[in-house]
Amino acid sequence: MIKLLLLVAYLLTVTAQLLLEWLNVRYRRRSGHPLPDLFTQGIDQLRLKRSEEYAAAKDQIGLVETLLGTMLTLMFIFGGLLPWYDRFISGLTDHFILHGLLFFGLLTLIQGVVGIPFSLYRNFVLEERFGFNRMGIRLWLSDMVKSLLIGALLLTLLIGGALWLVQAAPHSWWLWVWAFWAGLSLFLLLLSPYLIEPLFFTFKPLAKPELEDRVRSLLERAGVTAGKILQVDASRRSGHSNAYFTGIGKVKRVVLFDTLLEQLNDEELLAVLAHELGHWRCGHLRQRLIKGQIVALLSCFVAYSLLNAQILSGWFGFAELSFVGEALLLGWLAALLGFFWTPVSSWWSRQQERQADQFAIDLVGSGMPLATGLVTLARENLSNLFPHPLYAAVYYSHPAMIERVEWLQQRTPTGGSLSVEDGPAAD
């Protein structure tokens, strides 16, 4: 009975996702969306048509992926493959930790292999067709091998460590596992800019010496002392442009894609920087970390209670499953519930983006450079300018482009009609 309910719940969420996609496609295709002046200066009809084609191409491959994923999930969780797989791994070893590592390791590997054709198609067909791909097959391969090795190392650490704690502290492991994972993720956050990211990218100080003084004065006015402004060679892989901020304590950094530096003029670049500095000054990463850890602590406790009670295999109609088999079901349930959490977390993220935009307006004295920069960004990245409002409310981590630019303009008393030369992206 519970199994049936779970199956229905799963199929309903998949249907809801497909429905949202459908609404979004229909809305985008509807002609006659009004385009504000600032956009018409930089984006012509041809460009709009190109963005529509780009969005459609991404939708197609996304749909194939969703359908395949749903089919595999149905087979694995509801079609009886999971208990078979669990027994197969148990036949290889009866060592608790090794069993768990093999169980998740092999599954992750299969998932990775299934993902290979999609990754190849995305980079070398889709992105290539729209002129974004800059990667050769060698770089793609070396990226994949590196990710595989790093992934294997992290998986061994995370799963192996957690299973060791489960054995060592059978009555309080939820607290220890949480503390271990929290410590490890903090450690990775601090060290990834030095250990992991340099394996894929080269980070350099901003190659715009004429901007140096203005950047320094911007930092001073923003009250940011520690921290680095860097550019990254994203152009080796893709023509897409963006910017992001990361780090806590003394390792804070704002990273601008080199593609962004090519596309934006100086004023727009400073405005994007100001937006990223806003994220620091408003403590957004800290808030995100704290929220994440509270959720993680609660999840560990719920996981402990449910796994101790050994009721999950019964819910799914299986006679018996190993500890990690039940843990996998739990993860699947969490992902199912996560769908309902998506609109909340998107809304929350949009609030933070608004705050950072407001900070940028206050710092540079106008919303116009950020607005024109965003228009350029939309043009260069072939962004979808017309998402369905419901779709944007559920999934968008940033305010939809037109709404965001209009908001920036409204906050700028002079209103202005700056020409659109080049554009940024802002995380």
Here the tokens at position 379 are: 């043009």
CB within 8 A of 158, min separation 6: which ones?
Answer: 181, 184
Q: Shortest Cβ distance from residue 341 to Zn ion (Å)?
A: 21
Q: Where are the alpha helices (DSSP H) in 34-136?
A: 37-40, 45-73, 81-92, 96-121, 127-129
Of 401, 76, 95, residue with least CA distance to 409: 401
Candidate ranges 215-223, 322-330, 352-360, 407-415; the one touching Zn ion (CB under 5 A): 352-360
**Closer residue to Zn ion (CB): 206 or 356:** 356
User: Parallel, antiparallel, or unpaired: how do β-strands 228-232 and 253-257 relate?
Assistant: parallel
Candidate ranges 18-26, 148-156, 200-208, 354-362; the one touching Zn ion (CB under 5 A): 354-362
**Closer residue to Zn ion (CB): 206 or 374:** 374
Q: Shortest Cβ distance from residue 245 to Zn ion (Å)?
A: 8
**Closer residue to Zn ion (CB): 353 or 380:** 353
**Closer residue to Zn ion (CB): 163 or 363:** 363
Here the tokens at position 74 are: 């149905």
Is residue 14 close enough to count as binding Zn ion by CB under 5 A? no
**Burial class of residue 163 (count of CB atoms within 10 Å of its CB; 0-12, 13-18, 19+):** buried
CB within 8 A of 354, min separation 6: which ones?
Answer: 399, 407
Q: Shortest Cβ distance from residue 347 to Zn ion (Å)?
A: 15
**Closer residue to Zn ion (CB): 201 or 244:** 244
Q: Shortest Cβ distance from residue 145 to Zn ion (Å)?
A: 32
Amino acid identity, position 331? G
Candidate ranges 188-196, 342-350, 356-364, 386-394; the one touching Zn ion (CB under 5 A): 356-364
Here the tokens at position 64 are: 């194939």
Candidate ranges 90-98, 250-258, 336-344, 348-356; the one touching Zn ion (CB under 5 A): 348-356
Q: Shortest Cβ distance from residue 273 to Zn ion (Å)?
A: 11
Q: Shortest Cβ distance from residue 353 to Zn ion (Å)?
A: 5
Is residue 274 close enough to count as binding Zn ion by CB under 5 A? no
- Return the bridge partners of 230, or none: 205, 255
**Burial class of residue 55 (count of CB atoms within 10 Å of its CB; 0-12, 13-18, 19+):** buried
Candidate ranges 105-113, 152-160, 198-206, 353-361; the one touching Zn ion (CB under 5 A): 353-361
- Return the bridge partners of 231, or none: 204, 256
Is residue 427 close enough to count as binding Zn ion by CB under 5 A? yes
**Closer residue to Zn ion (CB): 55 or 254:** 254
Is residue 271 close enough to count as binding Zn ion by CB under 5 A? no
**Closer residue to Zn ion (CB): 48 or 356:** 356
| Given 300, 329, 356, 392, the residue binding Zn ion (CB under 5 A) | 356
Count of residues engaged in binding Zn ion, rule: CB under 5 A: 3
Candidate ranges 72-80, 128-136, 346-354, 373-381; the one touching Zn ion (CB under 5 A): 346-354
Q: For the sheet containing 203-205, what is the strand order?
A: 203-205, 228-232, 253-257, 243-246
273 and 254 in contact (C-beta within 8 Å)? yes
**Closer residue to Zn ion (CB): 421 or 427:** 427
Q: Shortest Cβ distance from residue 67 to Zn ion (Å)?
A: 33
244 and 426 in contact (C-beta within 8 Å)? no
Q: Shortest Cβ distance from residue 357 to Zn ion (Å)?
A: 8
Rounded Cα–Cα distance for residues 18 and 16 (Å): 6
Which residues within the stretch 279-338 sit at the binding site for Zn ion (CB under 5 A)?
none
Cα distances (Å, whole numbers) of residue 64 to 51, 117, 126, 237: 20, 12, 14, 24
Q: Shortest Cβ distance from residue 356 to Zn ion (Å)?
A: 5
Q: Shortest Cβ distance from residue 3 to Zn ion (Å)?
A: 42
- State the residues that interact with Zn ion by CB under 5 A: 353, 356, 427
